[in-house]
């Protein structure tokens, strides 16, 4: 939201031009990739180091992977629409009209995905909460550090509220400070928009949550770990991403879901890979390592991905006055 509020995507406004939309879009998908590949891979690997295999319940894995695939399909529809018509030789396409249609599709898609999230929340917390309660209670009994946790001093309600307020304030400041440095890192340090949004921002954002999930997998609480991994991914795909589009709509920002085809492909492939590892309801360190390796390959590709050239001021490219948003310049 901080990035969206700072976005100025009118190239005519040379002095204040800052198009953060590519970073925001990449961060949405990067958050999902960090969960389903990096975090889940680390969970599988950490748990597999202490035991041959770990098992988890179908209520966690099947519902989560199914929802993720559905959400991923919805997220890439605008990108598939634009890519299909942009390369068409049988249909005459106006670039501005195509962009407007993609924005409309993105907004409608966001509303539908948001409704899907509400339905999922109702399913999980009201009509089928007993299934999840039974699974997670069973996981608590398998916690190898449970006896130590029970002996720890517990916070009072007042202390919990105070801790939450302080944590939210610090996280908000952290987000603001991170956003302030994005332009510097991209322009001065040569980090690509894709590398920043797809890898760095989600990695920093998800660090604490991912460490919690890995600790749970280490303690043989794989259902808890997967509920964190898949739950966070579903929240990003069905709630956070659509919410950014809807808020941008209210702020009159052209925030859409027209992802780069590179992003769309790796999102669907990552969800399919994660789903294949979840299908047998068992995990080991080999599957975890493979997930992490895939994430590393994606990270290398993201950091070498060229930035879109928007013809901003202060550049020496001769096409700055005529170059469109689709031209690319490599970051050296």
Longest Cα separation, the chain: 71
pLDDT at 178: 76
Token pair, residue 317, equals 């490219």
Q: SS3 for 321?
A: coil
- Going from the C-alpha of 89 to that of each of 77, 85, 92, 306, the distances in angstroms are 20, 8, 7, 26
Q: SS3 for 16?
A: coil
For helices 261-278 and 21-33, what crossing angle results, to 10°?
10
- Pinpoint the alpha helices (H) of 123-156: 129-142, 146-151
pLDDT at 329: 38
Token pair, residue 331, equals 């970051």
- Tens digit of each residue's pLDDT (9 = 90 or more) over 243-263: 999 998 988 888 888 888 888
Phi/psi of residue 257, nearest 5 degrees:
-110, 30
Residues whose CB is less than 8 angstroms from the CB of residue 144 and which lie 6 or more positions away in sequence, other chains included: 219, 220
Based on the number of CB atoms within 10 Å of its own CB, is 168 exposed (0-12), middle (13-18) or buried (19 or more)? exposed
pLDDT beyond 60 at 17: no
| Averaged pLDDT, 275-291 | 91
- Tens digit of each residue's pLDDT (9 = 90 or more) over 159-193: 899 999 998 888 778 777 877 777 777 777 778 87
Residue pair 196/185 in contact (Cβ under 8 Å)? The answer is yes
pLDDT at 290: 94
Rounded-to-integer distance, Cα 164 and Cα 155, Å? 12
Position of tokens 């949405």?
28
| Averaged pLDDT, 236-240 | 90
Position of tokens 């319940």?
57
- 307: DSSP letter: E
The more confident residue out of 242 and 189 is: 242
């Amino acid at each position: 939201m901080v990035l969206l509020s700072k976005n100025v995507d009118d190239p005519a406004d040379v002095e204040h031009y800052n198009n953060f939309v590519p970073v925001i879009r990449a961060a949405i998908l990067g958050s999902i990739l960090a969960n389903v590949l990096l975090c889940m891979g680390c969970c599988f690997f950490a748990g597999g180091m202490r035991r041959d295999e770990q098992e988890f319940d179908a209520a966690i894995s099947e519902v989560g992977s199914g929802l993720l695939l559905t959400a991923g399909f919805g997220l890439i529809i605008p990108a598939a629409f634009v890519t299909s018509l942009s390369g068409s030789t049988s249909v005459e396409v106006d670039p501005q009209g195509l962009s407007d249609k993609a924005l409309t599709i993105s907004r409608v898609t966001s509303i539908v995905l948001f409704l899907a999230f509400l339905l999922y929340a109702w399913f999980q917390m009201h009509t089928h909460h007993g299934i999840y309660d039974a699974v997670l209670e069973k996981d608590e009994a398998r916690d190898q550090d449970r006896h130590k946790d029970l002996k720890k001093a517990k916070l009072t309600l007042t202390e919990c509220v105070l801790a939450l307020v302080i944590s939210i304030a610090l996280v908000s400041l952290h987000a603001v400070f991170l956003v302030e440095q994005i332009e510097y890192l991209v322009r001065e340090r040569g980090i690509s928009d894709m590398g920043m949004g797809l890898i760095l921002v989600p990695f920093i954002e998800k660090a604490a949550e991912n460490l919690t999930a890995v600790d749970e997998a280490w303690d043989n609480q794989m259902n808890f770990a997967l509920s964190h991994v898949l739950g966070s991914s579903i929240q990003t795909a069905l709630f956070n991403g659509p919410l950014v589009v809807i808020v941008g709509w209210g702020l009159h920002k052209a925030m859409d879901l027209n992802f780069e085809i590179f992003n769309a492909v790796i999102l669907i492939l990552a969800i399919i890979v994660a789903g294949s590892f979840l299908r047998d309801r068992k995990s080991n360190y080999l599957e975890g390592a493979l997930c992490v390796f895939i994430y590393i390959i994606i990270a290398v590709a993201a950091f070498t991905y060229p930035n879109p050239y928007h013809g901003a001021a202060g550049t020496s490219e001769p096409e700055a006055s005529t170059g469109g948003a689709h031209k690319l310049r490599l970051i050296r």
